[in-house]
Structure 1
Amino acid sequence: MDWNLLRTFVVIAEVKSITRAAERLNLKQPSVSNALRRLEVQVSRRLVERDANRFELTEVGLLVYEQGIEVFGTISQLPLLMHGISDDVTGHATIAVASDVICPLFDRALAQFHANYPRASLTISVAPSAEVTKQVRERRASFGICLVGRRDPALDYEMVYREFFGIFCGPRHRLHGRNGLTLDDLKGESLVSFQTDHIFDALRPVALLRSEAKLDTNVIGVSSSLEEVRRMIVAGLGIGPLPLHVARREVADGILWRLPPYDTPPAVDIFLLVNPDKAMNRSEKALLSGLQALLAETPLEGRVYNG
Structure 2
Amino acid sequence: MPEPGRDVHALLNDRLDWNLLRTFRVIGQELSISRAAARLHLTQPAVSQALKRLEEQLDCQLIARRGPRFDLTEAGEEIFAIAGEIYGQVSQLSSALQRPGDEMIGKVRLLMISRIFSDRFDDFLAQFHRLHPRVDLEIDVMRSSDIVSALLEKTATVGLSLNRRPQPRLEQRLFLRQRYAFYCGRHHALFGRGNLSDSDLQSENFVSFTSDQIGGMLSPLTIFRDQQGFRGRIVASSPNLEEVRRLVIAGFGLGCLPEHVVADDVSNGLLWRLPPSGGIADVDIHLLWNRDQKMSRAEHAFIDSLAQRLAQD
Normalization by structure 2: what TM-score? 0.64
Partner of 1:250: 265
5+ unaligned residues in a row in structure 2: which ranges? Answer: 1-98
Residue 271 (str. 1) matches residue 286 (str. 2): yes
Letter of the aligned partner of 2:308 in structure 1? A
Measured after TM superposition, the shift of residue 88 of structure 1 is 4.3
Other structure's SS at 1:167 match: strand
Partner of 2:276: 261
Measured after TM superposition, the shift of residue 229 of structure 1 is 0.8
Please list, as runs of the form range in 1=range in 2, the aligned pairs for 1:182-261 lying within 5 A after superposition.
182-215=197-230, 217-261=232-276
Measured after TM superposition, the shift of residue 86 of structure 1 is 8.1
The worse-fitting range, judged by mean Cα deviation, of 289-298 and 197-206 is: 197-206
Q: Deviations 1:136-176 (Å, cap 9, x if unpaired)?
A: 11111101111112111111111112111001111111111
Partner of 1:295: 310
The worse-fitting range, judged by mean Cα deviation, of 161-170 and 193-202 is: 193-202
1:132 to 147, 154, 162: 147
Letter of the aligned partner of 1:121 in structure 2? D
Q: Deviations 1:94-141 (Å, cap 9, x if unpaired)?
A: 111122533333222222222222222111111111111111111111
CA contact (8 A) 1:170 1:255 kept: yes
Letter of the aligned partner of 1:158 in structure 2? R
CA contact (8 A) 1:192 1:229 kept: yes
Structure 1: distance between partners of 2:249 and 2:270: 7
Structure 1: distance between partners of 2:231 and 2:135: 46
Partner of 1:96: 111
Other structure's SS at 1:280 match: coil
5+ unaligned residues in a row in structure 1: which ranges? Answer: 1-83, 299-307
**Equivalenced residues, count:** 215
CA contact (8 A) 1:168 1:257 kept: yes
Structure 2: distance between partners of 1:173 and 1:213: 21
Residue 177 (str. 1) matches residue 192 (str. 2): yes
Partner of 2:156: 141
Letter of the aligned partner of 1:197 in structure 2? D
CA contact (8 A) 2:179 2:279 kept: no
Other structure's SS at 1:134 match: helix
Structure 2: distance between partners of 1:290 and 1:221: 40
Structure 2: distance between partners of 1:128 and 1:117: 29
Residue 113 (str. 1) matches residue 128 (str. 2): yes
Structure 2: distance between partners of 1:152 and 1:100: 24
Measured after TM superposition, the shift of residue 226 of structure 1 is 1.0
Structure 2: distance between partners of 1:100 and 1:211: 27
Structure 2: distance between partners of 1:85 and 1:147: 34
Tell which structure's C-alpha radius of gyration is larger.
1
Other structure's SS at 1:181 match: coil
Partner of 1:4: none
RMSD of aligned residue pairs (Cα, Å): 2.0
Partner of 1:38: none
Residue 165 (str. 1) matches residue 180 (str. 2): yes
Alpha-carbon distance change, 102 to 214 in structure 1, aligned in 2, over 3 angstroms: farther
Other structure's SS at 1:92 match: strand
Other structure's SS at 2:117 match: coil
Measured after TM superposition, the shift of residue 217 of structure 1 is 4.8
Other structure's SS at 2:261 match: helix
Structure 2: distance between partners of 1:150 and 1:233: 28
Letter of the aligned partner of 1:106 in structure 2? F
Partner of 2:74: none
